[in-house]
Structure 1
Amino acid sequence: MSALQQQVHDPYPTRLEHAITPIERIEPTVWGDDGSGPLGAAELNDFAAQGYLVRPDTVDSDALGPLGNELERLAAELDSDDPRVIREPGGSIRSIFAPHLLSTLVAGVVQLDTVLPVARQLLGGDVYIHQARINLMPAFTGTGFYWHSDFETWHAEDGMPQMRAVSCSIALTENYPYNGSLMVIPGSHRTFYPCVGATPDNHHSSSLVAQRFGVPDQNTLTKAVDADGIDQFTGPAGSALWFDCNLLHGSGSNITPLPRSNVFLVFNSVDNQLGAPYAAAGIRPEYLAARRTRSLGLPASRAQCC
């Protein structure tokens, strides 16, 4: 726990010296109702129970080509030493952070009527972009993401107080079961799993390539999978996976000749703004955790995206 948070009660302690019992979630998963957005009661109930929801046709097929070209442009134009560009050990690009601030096309995706209203409904009101990135998993060499809860990191290292954030992963390429597509443990969002090990200084400089701190141990993961199993997000380009900030998820490496890429958007409630980190010495850069919050306006039509 940081010095600034030592006198504040933390309902979700983590990065500890020793293991403690998992903690039951305090907040609701769904903050809106079926009258406040495009999701019906059945979809909201599924999201509350499973912690995730798949929405097909989130981005129209005629917009996927321009978005793919935009990814190539960003990858080519950004300097090799730009901190927003995260590379695999072999040198290929793994992620590009804050693409919505670098590209009007990506910014348009945030405002789509198939995206923004869903975020507002799930979080019960005005939202802003806490983090955005493009994830690239190239053919043959793309490495996976180990099992983790995003909220654990955002709470520990960014000072996010509540589980009132949601992620939207929009596939720009086909997601097959064998090209490193995302796996989730359904229902795991209902439990917070404290992790062992103090946060190193400048942890983000290494964790964005391979995370070692803030991940559950193997025994914890085994129990979670025994209880709830594993689901996998597969489907055509343009599909979106929405998942709760505390859902355990991860992906394997891509050893196929089929690359995988996605636009990853994290929406946070304007009522859940960041404070001092709960378990880190300093704050992370703005491109990883936005502190200059601005409520997003009305959604745009799909035609305005690309």
Structure 2
Amino acid sequence: MTNEVVDDRYPSRLAAPAPTASTMIARPDPTVWGEHPGPFGPRETAAYDAKGFHIEEGLLTPSQVQNCWSEFERLSADPELSSSDLLVRERESGAIRSIFRVHRVSPLFEALARTPRILDRARQILGSEVYIHQSRINAMPGMAGTGFYWHSDFETWHAEDGLPTPRTVSLSIALTDNYPFNGGLMLMPGAHRTFVSCVGATPDDNYRESLQEQRIGVPSEDVITELGYEHGIEQFTGAAGSGLFFDSNSMHASGNNISPFPRANVFLVFNSVENAPVRPYSGTSPRPVHLAEREVEPLTPLPDSPFA
């Protein structure tokens, strides 16, 4: 990590409320970076550019999904992980909410990130070599999973991790069927082109609170209402194995899972090697490496990946 901080084109964590218009900034950076070759065709990249996300049905086969699910169960039962900060539990029920840095603690999920047909899509969108900024499994157990309020991941990664620009793409792969009623991810198509500055200073170790319930770095209800009416809302649903590629500045959220059907997704966050983190723009210390990798080492393809 470098200590250099460039001019901040995405100011947030403002000290005082501001009029709604002044908190919404037209994004100065592209969504698809350059003409890097890859598996996406022109129609897919154009749709991703316009909406800020793309759904790839059947990204993993049923047997590959089952292998990932078995690995999730193994990690969930690991006593060393259970006593570490990598595993986050629901505040009320104690059920597993997230497991972080899965590409470091699991050879299987490392192989998933290095699978050429997945890695090449991230390179194509970001126009460069990439590395994993963050990886995790988000779980929403039936009847107990609590949702995530509307937010842009980039706002946090910029303010608390020091990523200069939204040159980052997340891949969410469904390990269970994602229904509208079990906490499926909601996104506002096109809202990724607007950066929302949020109000409130960042407390020390804010991540400890935000991983269970995010209160800092979330837009006001007025802003969410305005964006919702302008862009509408779509939802990532589909069979296990479906993949959602979405821009880091996508405005997204999920509701509580009060259905009996669990939902679990593995997330791989690819960041451009040309977008290396600097000092966090909120002025705080960087978050721990299990939430934000600081070493920028390009991922190398794994041709014999079990997901090839």
Taking structure 1 as the reference length, what is the TM-score of the superposition? 0.95
Shift of 1:298: 2.1
- Residue 114 (structure 1) shift: 2.9
| Distance in 2 separating the partners of 1:299 and 1:108 | 7
- The equivalences for 1:91-240 within 5 A come to 91-240=94-243
Matching residue of 2:48 = 47
Structure 1 distance, partners of 2:132, 2:204, is: 25
Q: 3-state DSSP class of the match of 1:57?
A: coil
In 1: Cα distance, 2:151 partner to 2:304 partner: 34
Q: Is the 8 A contact 2:173 2:267 kept in 1?
A: yes
Paired position in structure 2 for 1:274: 277
Identity rate of aligned residues, in percent? 49
Q: Secondary structure at the match of 1:271?
A: helix
Distance (whole Å) between structure 2 residues aligned to residue 21 and residue 93 of structure 1: 34
Shift of the 276–231 alpha-carbon distance from structure 1 to 2, 3 Å rule, reads: same
Alignment partner of 1:115: what SS?
A: helix
**Alignment partners' CA distance in 1, 2:245 and 2:259:** 25
Match of 2:246, SS state, is strand
CA distance in 2, matches of 1:39, 1:259: 31
After superposition, the C-alpha distances for 1:52-78 in whole angstroms (9 at most, x for unaligned) are 000111112111112111101101014
Is the 2:129–2:272 contact (alpha carbons within 8 Å) kept by the matching residues of 1? yes
Distance in structure 2 (CA, Å) of the matches to 1:50 and 1:58: 20
Unmatched 5+ stretches in structure 1? none
Structure 1 window deviating more from structure 2 (127-136 vs 18-27): it is 18-27
Query: Structure 2 CA distance, aligned partners of 1:232 and 1:67?
Result: 23
In 2, Cα distance between the equivalents of 1:250 and 1:299? 33
SS state at 1:23 partner:
strand
Instruction: Give the conservation status (yes or no) of the 8 Å contact 1:117–1:299.
Output: no
Counterpart position of 2:26: 24
Greater mean deviation of Cα atoms: 264-273 or 275-284: 275-284
Change (3 A) 1:299 1:45: farther
Secondary structure in 2 matching 1:186: coil
Per-residue deviation at 1:32?
3.6
Which is worse superposed, 249-258 or 14-23? 14-23
Flag structure 2 segments of 5+ consecutive residues without an equivalent: none
Structure 2-normalised TM-score? Answer: 0.94
The 3-state SS of whatever aligns with 2:275 is coil
> In 2, Cα distance between the equivalents of 1:40 and 1:100?
28
Q: CA RMSD in A?
A: 1.5
